[in-house]
Amino acid sequence: MATEVRLPQWSMGMEEGQVVTWHKQVGDVVAVDEPLVEIEAEKTTDDVLAPVAGTILEILVAEGETVPALTVLALIGEPGEAIASPAPDRPSVQITPVARRTAKELGVDLEAVVGTGPGGRITEYDVISHATDTPAGAVGERASSPTTTVPLAGMRRVIASRMHESIQSMAQLTLARQIDATEMIALQRALKAEGTDVSVTDFVLKAVTVALADHPALNATLEDDVITQYARIDLGVAVALEDGLIVPVVRDSGAKSLAELSAEVRDLAERVRTRSVKPAEITGSTFTVTNLGAYGIDAFTPIINLPEVAILGVGRAVEVPTRDGDNVVWRQMITFSLTIDHRAVDGAPGAQFLQTLAEIIASPAALAD
């Protein structure tokens, strides 16, 4: 009897995956645990392995298709084996919200409409075309300048879903504070001049891990009405890509030295950019840091990475004139934006965390030990 190869559900939040590349074709012989197909899911890619040895009898999902988790991707069996080809567990034809509304207004049966959008998606133009017996291309013509449409799919779709769920399901509150980072930046530059390649961001991440040790209420998750505070800090570090954002996780970051933390963040970021990071390396964080300082941003409202209860946004360093007795001196200030889930954390504990972080950054020598 043929064995089904299904799309794994690599994490509880994984709903779907996209077939990127088939490594094998129908008729190929495969061994147990041999890579069959590359899948993009949860903002990363990984291979699905052969569960048994045998021959590829049928491939049910083509490259480029996105299907729900646990969908049957292929069948493996003996050469020439008769198979009862299962109906692929694929979603029905996608229909845009505007198309559904237009069909209702015009009394059009969507079952009778042929979609011309990406992947056969039914668009507003297809509905109007069916109702008026006019080619969809003509319906969609516009007198204005040409436009570009980009399907909300793949990584962008996952991000959109997660961000929407985060905003909808939480009572999010953002606290912002300017912190004097002059001494920290000076120490980072001194270390770099001596040949120790650590960045300001590395110092910030180390300072965050130290501060979280004193504020466990922020190193926590909220799921099913249960708040779980963690003794170990698994720090998520947001890495921006051209088509989205991935958050790899530095495990037990509180136990790592500044140099070790820096090296691991650099390695994870590089593997994120080359799409070689594994699903297990981008799940299970307990607190997240996202830095937009390199883009000239002073402050912003970071959105919490579910199911965590807090996220810290880091802005750029800016020289600010400050009073020193009767004199005015220039200091390097960074604005930190802390978003908390007000269901699990009140404003005062969030403010106290920022206070502790400010004290650590003001006296950064211990961070480099």
| Residues designated catalytic | 342, 346
Q: Name the DSSP class of 79.
A: T
- Cβ contact 26:32 at 8 Å: no
The closest alpha carbon to 68, from 95, 109, 39, belongs to: 39
If you count them, how many residues does the chain have? Answer: 369
Residue 175 tokens read as 């606290």
- Distance, CA of 39 to chain centre: 16
For the stretch 44-48, contacts whose Cβ atoms lie closer than 8 Å and that sit 24 or more positions apart, written own/partner, are: 44/246, 44/272, 44/275, 44/277, 44/278, 44/279, 44/281, 44/282, 45/20, 45/275, 46/10, 46/278, 46/279, 47/23, 48/5, 48/7, 48/8, 48/73
Respond yes or no on whether the N-terminal peptide bond of residue 307 is cis (omega within 30° of 0).
yes
Residues 106, 128: Cα–Cα separation, whole Å? 8
Give how far Cα 30 sits from Cα of 26, 33, 335, Å. Answer: 11, 9, 55
- Beta strands 287-291; 235-237: pairing state: parallel
The closest alpha carbon to 288, from 227, 346, 337, belongs to: 337
Residue 39 tokens read as 């899948």
DSSP class per residue in 129-140: HHHHT--HHHHT
